[in-house]
């Protein structure tokens, strides 16, 4: 399940939940998350961050280490307390605070810093993960091509997966409703 909310912090707040299908079936819930101390990271010196953000030579497209030297440490992956109603395995996307939470057992969650695009800021509700892809291809929308033809027109038939692909190495495709015919023409995508 994936939950998207616009207000989600350590104080109990009503938030609109988005259960892994990307088009509105809004439900209200209360969630609280204890904010841990901000880790001190800059370069990859902490062994835990080296493991998380270091090179991935065994990938289909070998990944170099991620440069986290300019990332605010609060956006680095970390385990936090979770005191909400969602079941383990649920993904909560809090667009207002720019965090994604993966709910785990025993009142814990993994928290990740995320980027949120214009459409993501407006979306609220529940969705389901309809498909997962590794190194997916990407096709810009007609609007993207119209706005920036010099950048996007060459990818009108799709950009293959790889290091330059904006979707990255993993994508969750989100749907609403039980049948694919109830989804929009293009599935919404979430880079993970």
pLDDT > 80? residue 22: no
pLDDT 10s digits, 100-123: 999 999 999 999 998 877 777 777
**In degrees rounded to 5, what are phi and psi of residue 24?**
-5, 120
pLDDT 10s digits, 119-150: 777 777 888 888 899 999 999 999 999 999 99
DSSP letter (8 states) at residue 71: S
User: What is the rounded CA–CA span in Å between residue 155 and residue 124?
Assistant: 29
pTM exceeds 0.85 for this model: no
Q: What is the pLDDT of residue 6?
A: 44
Residue 103, CB-side half-sphere exposure with 13 Å CA sphere: 21
pLDDT 10s digits, 40-63: 434 556 788 888 889 999 999 999
Residue with tokens 């969650």: 109
Q: Where are the domains of the chain?
A: 2-131+172-185
């Amino acid at each position: 399940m994936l939950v998207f909310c616009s207000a989600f912090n350590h104080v109990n707040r009503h938030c609109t939940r988005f259960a892994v299908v990307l088009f509105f079936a809004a439900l209200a819930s209360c969630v609280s998350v204890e904010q841990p101390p901000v880790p001190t990271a800059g370069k990859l010196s902490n062994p835990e961050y080296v493991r998380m953000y270091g090179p991935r030579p065994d990938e289909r497209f070998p990944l170099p280490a991620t440069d986290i030297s300019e990332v605010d440490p609060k956006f680095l992956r970390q385990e936090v307390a979770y005191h909400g109603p969602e079941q383990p395995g649920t993904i909560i996307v809090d667009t207002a605070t720019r965090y994604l939470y993966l709910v785990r057992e025993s009142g814990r969650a993994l928290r990740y810093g995320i980027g949120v695009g214009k459409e993501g800021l407006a979306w609220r509700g529940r969705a389901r993960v309809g498909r997962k892809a590794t190194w997916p291809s990407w096709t810009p929308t007609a609007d993207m091509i119209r706005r920036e033809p010099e950048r996007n027109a060459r990818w009108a038939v799709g950009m293959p997966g790889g290091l330059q692909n904006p979707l990255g190495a993993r994508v969750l495709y989100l749907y609403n409703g039980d049948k694919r015919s109830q989804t929009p023409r293009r599935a919404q995508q979430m880079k993970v």
